[in-house]
Amino acid sequence: MEITAAEALVRCLEQENVELVFGYPGGAILPVYDAFNNSTIKHILVRHEQGAAHMADGYARVTGKVGVCLATSGPGATNLVTGIANAYMDSVPMVVITGQVPTTQVGTDAFQEVDITGITLPITKHNFLVKDPKQLSVIVKKAFHLASTGRPGPVLIDLPKDVALSKIKFKYPKNINLPGYKPTYKGHSAMVQQAGKIMMKSERPVIYAGGGVRISGAAPELLQLAETLSAPVTHTLMGLGCFPGDHPLFLGMLGLHGTRYANQAVTECDCLIAVGARFDDRVVTKISGFAPEARIIHIDIDPAEIGKNVTTHLPIVGDLKTVLGAILPNLEKKDNSRWLKRVCRMKEEFPLSYSQEGRLKPQFVCEKLNELKEDNAIVVTDVGQHQMWAALYMRFNEPRCFISSGGLGAMGFCLPAAIGAKMGAPERNVIMVIGDAGLQMTMQELGTAAEQKLPLKIFVLNNNRLGMVRQLQEFYCDKRYISVDFEFNLDFAALGRLYGMEGYTINTPEQLTELLPQILTSPAPVIVDCIIDREENVYPMVLNGSAISEAIGSGKRRMEDI
């Protein structure tokens, strides 16, 4: 029996155990939507295609599964681009399906035609334009395999309408062979042994952990490595939660807005063990001042990342969980008490701090949220000052508990990503920490959240301005502020009530302390408009051209005095 290629596509998704997809229909993708009528897959109707991509992203980060989103051709496809780029930068497994004009019209500037495979070539792991309907099943199998193996990432399938309507016999391949695509999972044995020797000789080791720990499922191995070596652990933004935030060896985030003690520990270490991290500019800031005394061991599944930004003394290409599993038997329990005492002094002398004078402080909001949230609650942030405050003042003890846009820094990510996260983990509380500007970029997705009856807890850190841009203008433009203040002040609590949410406006620490327990335990969706100090900056901060050891803020004394 023959079926349409569109029906075959939906069956392929079922074979890949896809439970739900996020999308927005249109003419070119209509055959695929029609095929969903006979499927068990749940489709989530979004309000904008960018929201669909971010929802698939949030779903994938929480579940570890491949997120799936759909859109029609032309503007539907181009509206996905920001979400695709975000997933690509943060190594999120995603399959993106777009409709396309009929093959006879491709290249004619037809209505709603864009070359989406050309546009997304630099921001996808791979993409396909389906020309032969008989190849569709193989293409889908390849797409899911590519998206979820090696270093994960988004894969796009562009399906012309006439191909989607073609009749074929359905058969889904059990296995796939991709010549030339053979990710390395097992580290080179000689390198593994050498890494163990360097680690054992080290007197001042620091582990620098990134999002690859979460992706690989290597959190248990990371904990064992740190405790065996007595090595402090610092994280990238993407790595938060992969090592217990309440562990004595935890240093918090490093880099541009990292803790001063994490930055100084990296500066003074004699061995930096980089696991699943990529030495990006937010971490390194100034190459010559980054871990200048250290031998650097870099373990990553993507060989292109090793040596790209920082010289590596010992590179190991492979899956992090597998490689650490091979290194650990070569190690013995170490006593680095002298080094740990030095690190403890750093923490004591340079704790995170802020002035509590004036209006409600965003750091206080994050501290109270951290105090009262469940340990397995999922915290989702947008991009900006609030993102850094959440990363600095909240603690995460489990992987997949902290979700944020890292490499791309895409404002508007938080709300749709939180929707995807909640749909991926409906039994867990999902808390949004978001700025007033970021919420206004995708706030139409409040309609999606309401339609799906999702009890999100939304905390808007509202300074009625583009806070991070204002901070940058303060330091780099001699306080010449332009286009950072909103003249119209939106009432977010009232907005939430329009969507059937409970809405609160909070102006003081006392109000927050009183209301927060009932907000977090409410079975209803809640939006909390926290009116924060408009002049508050994110500290610590490393200024342009400075090394990470030269951060300003969070401490009065010089680091060399302790």
What does the block give as tokens for 204?
């001042």
Choose the catalytic residue: 125, 141, 142, 161.
Answer: 161
Q: Nearest CA to 184 among 144, 137, 149, 142?
A: 149
Backbone angles phi, psi at 343, to 5 degrees: -65, -40
C-alpha distance from residue 470 to each of 136, 421, 467, 528 (Å)? 49, 30, 5, 23
| 112 assigned to active site | yes
What does the block give as tokens for 328?
């650990």
- 3-state secondary structure at position 404: coil
Question: Long-range contacts made by residues 539-543, C-beta under 8 angstroms, separation at least 24?
Answer: 539/257, 539/354, 540/257, 540/258, 540/259, 540/260, 540/263, 541/256, 541/257, 541/471, 541/475, 542/255, 542/256, 542/257, 542/263, 542/285, 543/475
Beta bridge partners of 149: none
Beta-carbon neighbour count of residue 521 at 10 Å? 11
| 474 assigned to active site | no
Residues in CB range of 135: below 8 A, 6 or more apart: none
C-alpha distance from residue 340 to each of 228, 333, 334, 372, 532 (Å)? 13, 15, 12, 30, 37
Backbone angles phi, psi at 260, to 5 degrees: -65, -35
Q: First and final CA of the chain: distance in angstroms? A: 78
The residue type of 160 is P
Asked if 100 contacts 62 with a C-beta cutoff of 8 angstroms, the reply is: no
Full DSSP string of 43-87: EEE-SSHHHHHHHHHHHHHHHSSPEEEEE-STHHHHTTHHHHHHH
Rounded Cα gap, residues 93 and 68, in angstroms:
9
Rounded Cα gap, residues 424 and 431, in angstroms:
14
State the DSSP code for 443. Answer: G
Rounded Cα gap, residues 221 and 226, in angstroms:
9
| 161 assigned to active site | yes
Choose the catalytic residue: 15, 105, 112, 194.
Answer: 112
Count, residues in the chain: 562
Full DSSP string of 447-500: HHHHHTT---EEEEEE-SB-HHHHHHHHHHSTT---S-B-SS---HHHHHHHTT
414: exposed, middle or buried (Cβ count in 10 Å: 0-12, 13-18, 19+): buried
| 440 assigned to active site | no
Choose the catalytic residue: 94, 253, 468, 559.
Answer: 468
Q: Nearest CA to 125 among 260, 378, 302?
A: 302
Alpha helices by DSSP H, 355-466? 362-372, 385-393, 414-424, 436-442, 446-451
Choose the catalytic residue: 7, 16, 49, 536.
Answer: 49
Q: Nearest CA to 293 among 258, 333, 261, 264?
A: 264
The residue type of 409 is G
What does the block give as tokens for 267?
């500066």
Active site residues: 49, 111-112, 161, 468
